[in-house]
């Protein structure tokens, strides 16, 4: 039966049974049983030999009797006795030959039996080794978490402690505010900025807390407290578009309508921006978005779900020029991150892909996660040799038609090293993981002192240690020959030897990143979207999401308020790429 269809109870029963058999071999009970069988068979053979020896002894006695009779009888019977003796001698010779053959046969049988039992023991040992390897493999599968794979902490199995990665150095201080630290408080607004004033006076029946007197007078002193809050107010704006007539020809001239005012009544850009922000950033479902707007306006404004859905297409269509300009900026970048993740499109597996850097976010959506969809994006093939591309290890990046410089994510590498070490029990990969972490830590310290790279001697020493670790890991991998964890360990060894320059280029240039975390953070939003809002109806709706997300994220990375940017989009004049990058505080 295929292991993938074995239930947990069946697996546990098999493991217990095999453990019992293994325990029997370890305690010697099985060996004693086999030894008893061998001695029983040996006793039987020895019984046969004793019977033959008794028969031989009987023959000798008979010969002795014949000889005694020969001396006492006459010459006539002597010839007969000699014949009898000769006959008996031949019989003895035959019996001796049979005895020798039987002994030789017994020796051969014993040798074959020992060989047979030895082969059986080897087979059992092989089965035991196989079961131990399989047991270690299943244990490694159960131990998979965020430290040795890309599994998010939210998917940690019940009853298992969550592993939350944190590379920050511990300061030894207690949590919360530190002694002597100035408390952060809101700054009071100026008198001109105060929108409401509420005066609090004593009630008519208030009395002095000391003597109970009602005669209280105001001293001229007061305490001022300020409250910041938000008021949701429905604004109903009437637009009047006047019509004019040409005095010369009588032609009627109407003032052009503002974008978004085609119907007699429509929702304004602020409400539309709020709906787009809820749908694309908060990942609110359409019905929840409509319900939220209805709730904060006290049921005065009640947009339907269809209207909320139509805003996605309207917003995406208004960003066509923006996406073209963003694409041009993207392919001319000197450093680019990219990654993709699986999304569900109409019950099928689709793909959302991210390209970008610290200031640009460019998303695309496809029905399939394959080479064809990469070609449709027309981004990687447009990059030059001067462009450095950070990505997770994917051999498609080394396609011959691409010319950019590859940078490999060290965080993914460290997770793979941890996973392999957990499965094999080999410490070489843990040693390498710690070495990489130490180099990254030293790099961060040098950056604080305005250094641009490690000294060449330090770099050479790192590569020497790397090669030494890989050689030792290679030797253990060959010796272990574990079909469960061995191939994964082998792939990591081969990968590091082939792509080590791509993994560790940051040793020579501190401006280069060590991980692809920027791409992972950029794609994390869609995982929340899939959990909350579910799948996309089609590739078109997924592309709407990707386009609006590109606009929102690019604005946010350059310090532009998301709602303000969406208001401009819904008003028909979104931020341009040049405006966004010019307004960036970076």
Q: What is the extent of the structural domain holding 432?
A: 410-515
In a domain, 57, yes or no: yes
Read off the pLDDT of residues 420-475 as tens digits, 9 standing for 90 and up: 998 888 899 999 999 999 999 999 999 999 999 999 999 999 999 999 999 999 99
Lowest-pLDDT choice from 169-178, 258-267, 288-297, 393-402: 169-178
Residue 73 is predicted with a pLDDT of 66
| CB 315, CB 276: distance < 8 Å | yes
Read off the pLDDT of residues 278-287 as tens digits, 9 standing for 90 and up: 999 998 988 9
Other C-beta atoms within 10 Å of 37: how many?
Answer: 12
Burial 203-216 (b: 16+ CB within 10 A, else e): eeeeeeeeeeeeee
Lowest-pLDDT choice from 197-211, 219-233, 340-354, 502-516: 197-211
Domain count, the chain: 2
C-alpha to C-alpha distance for 340 and 367, rounded to whole angstroms: 12
Burial of 221 (0-12, 13-18, 19+ CB in 10 A): exposed
C-alpha to C-alpha distance for 532 and 545, rounded to whole angstroms: 15
Residue 11 is predicted with a pLDDT of 80
Residue keyed to tokens 């990942």: 283
Which of these three, 492, 515, 538, is where a domain ends?
A: 515
C-alpha to C-alpha distance for 303 and 80, rounded to whole angstroms: 134
C-alpha to C-alpha distance for 130 and 22, rounded to whole angstroms: 12
270 pLDDT above the threshold of 80 = yes
Per-range mean pLDDT, top range of 8-22, 160-174, 420-434: 420-434
Instruction: Name residues whose C-beta falls within 8 Å of residue 427's C-beta, 6 or more positions apart in sequence.
Output: 421
- Percent of the chain past pLDDT 70, that is, above it, reads 90
DSSP 256: P
In a domain, 240, yes or no: no
What mean pLDDT, rounded, does the chain reach?
86
Read off the pLDDT of residues 294-349 as tens digits, 9 standing for 90 and up: 999 989 999 999 999 999 999 999 999 999 999 999 999 999 999 999 999 999 99
Per-range mean pLDDT, top range of 78-87, 97-106, 242-251: 242-251
Q: Which two tokens stand for residue 220?
A: 């001229």
Q: Write the Ramachandran bin of 299: left for phi over 0, alpha for psi from -120 to 50, otherwise beta.
A: left
222 pLDDT above the threshold of 90 = no
| CB 329, CB 309: distance < 8 Å | no
In a domain, 463, yes or no: yes
Burial of 544 (0-12, 13-18, 19+ CB in 10 A): buried
In a domain, 128, yes or no: yes
Burial 278-312 (b: 16+ CB within 10 A, else e): bbbbbbbbbebbbeebeeeeeeebebeeebbbebb
Instruction: Name residues whose C-beta falls within 8 Å of residue 577's C-beta, 6 or more positions apart in sequence.
Output: 322, 325, 326, 329, 554
Read off the pLDDT of residues 560-583 as tens digits, 9 standing for 90 and up: 999 999 999 999 999 999 999 986
6 pLDDT above the threshold of 60 = no
C-alpha to C-alpha distance for 272 and 307, rounded to whole angstroms: 10
Instruction: Name residues whose C-beta falls within 8 Å of residue 498's C-beta, 6 or more positions apart in sequence.
Output: none
Burial of 112 (0-12, 13-18, 19+ CB in 10 A): exposed
Instruction: Name residues whose C-beta falls within 8 Å of residue 507's C-beta, 6 or more positions apart in sequence.
Output: 439, 443, 453, 454, 458, 459, 462
C-alpha to C-alpha distance for 300 and 290, rounded to whole angstroms: 12
In a domain, 381, yes or no: no
Residue 149 is predicted with a pLDDT of 59
In a domain, 25, yes or no: yes
Residue 1 is predicted with a pLDDT of 45
Residue 78 is predicted with a pLDDT of 67
Which of these three, 458, 488, 515, is where a domain ends?
A: 515
- Percent of the chain past pLDDT 90, that is, above it, reads 46
246 pLDDT above the threshold of 70 = yes
| CB 244, CB 253: distance < 8 Å | yes
138 pLDDT above the threshold of 90 = no
The confidence band for 150, taking pLDDT boundaries of 50, 70 and 90, is low
Per-range mean pLDDT, top range of 10-14, 228-232, 505-509: 505-509
Map residue 81 onto helix, strand or coil: helix
In a domain, 584, yes or no: no
Residue 71 is predicted with a pLDDT of 66
Q: Are strands 252-254 and 388-391 parallel, antiparallel or unpaired?
A: unpaired
Segment 403-415 shows an average pLDDT of 94
In a domain, 477, yes or no: yes
DSSP 354: E
C-alpha to C-alpha distance for 447 and 441, rounded to whole angstroms: 10
The confidence band for 39, taking pLDDT boundaries of 50, 70 and 90, is confident
């Amino acid at each position: 039966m295929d292991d993938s269809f074995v239930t947990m109870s069946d697996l546990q029963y098999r493991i217990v049974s095999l453990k019992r058999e293994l325990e029997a071999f370890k305690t010697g009970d099985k060996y004693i049983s086999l030894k008893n069988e061998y001695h029983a068979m040996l006793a039987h053979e020895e019984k046969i030999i004793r019977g033959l020896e008794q028969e031989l002894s009987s023959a000798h006695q008979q010969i002795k009797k014949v000889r005694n009779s020969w001396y006492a009888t006459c010459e006539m019977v002597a010839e007969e006795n000699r014949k009898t003796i000769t006959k008996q001698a031949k019989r003895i010779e035959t019996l001796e030959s049979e005895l020798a053959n039987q002994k030789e046969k017994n020796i051969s049988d014993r040798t074959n039996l020992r060989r047979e039992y030895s082969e059986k023991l080897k087979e059992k040992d092989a089965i035991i080794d196989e079961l131990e390897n399989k047991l270690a493999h299943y244990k490694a599968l159960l131990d998979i978490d965020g430290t040795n794979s890309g599994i998010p902490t939210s998917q940690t199995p019940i009853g298992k402690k969550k592993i939350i990665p944190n590379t920050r150095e511990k300061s030894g201080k207690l949590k919360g505010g530190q002694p002597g630290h100035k408390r952060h408080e809101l700054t009071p607004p100026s008198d001109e900025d105060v929108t409401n004033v509420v005066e609090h006076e004593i009630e008519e029946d208030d009395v002095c807390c000391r003597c109970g007197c009602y005669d209280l007078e105001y001293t001229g002193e007061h305490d001022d407290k300020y409250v910041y809050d938000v008021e949701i107010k429905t604004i109903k704006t009437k637009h009047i578009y006047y019509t004019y007539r040409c005095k010369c020809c009588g032609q009627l001239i109407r003032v052009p309508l503002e974008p978004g005012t085609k119907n007699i009544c429509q929702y304004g850009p602020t409400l539309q921006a709020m709906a787009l922000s809820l749908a694309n950033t908060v990942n609110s479902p359409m019905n929840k978005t409509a319900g939220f707007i209805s709730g904060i306006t006290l049921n005065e404004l009640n947009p339907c779900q269809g209207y909320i859905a139509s805003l996605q297409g309207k917003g995406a269509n208004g960003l066509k020029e923006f996406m073209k300009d963003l694409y041009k900026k993207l392919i001319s970048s000197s450093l680019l991150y990219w990654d993709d993740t699986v999304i569900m499109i109409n019950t099928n597996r689709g793909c959302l892909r991210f390209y970008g850097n610290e200031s640009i976010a460019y998303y695309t959506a496809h029905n399939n996660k394959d080479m064809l969809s990469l070609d449709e994006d027309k981004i990687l093939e447009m990059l030059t040799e001067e462009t450095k591309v950070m990505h997770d290890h994917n051999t498609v990046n080394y396609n011959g038609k691409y010319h950019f410089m590859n940078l490999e994510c060290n965080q993914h590498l460290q997770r793979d090293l941890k996973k392999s070490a957990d499965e094999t029990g080999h410490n070489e990969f843990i040693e390498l993981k710690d070495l990489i972490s130490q180099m990254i830590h030293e790099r961060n310290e040098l950056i604080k002192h305005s250094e641009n790279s490690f000294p060449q001697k330090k770099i050479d020493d790192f590569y020497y240690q790397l090669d030494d670790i890989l050689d030792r890991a290679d030797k253990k991998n060959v010796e272990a020959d574990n079909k469960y964890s061995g191939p994964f360990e082998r792939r990591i060894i081969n990968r590091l030897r082939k792509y080590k320059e791509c993994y560790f280029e940051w040793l020579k240039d501190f401006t280069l990143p060590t991980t692809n975390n920027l791409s992972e953070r950029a794609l994390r939003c869609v995982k929340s979207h899939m959990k909350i809002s579910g799948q996309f109806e089609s590739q078109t709706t997924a592309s709407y999401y990707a386009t609006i997300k590109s606009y929102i994220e690019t604005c946010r990375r350059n310090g532009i308020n998301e709602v303000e940017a969406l208001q401009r989009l819904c008003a028909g004049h979104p931020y341009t790429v040049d405006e966004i990058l010019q307004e960036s505080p970076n």
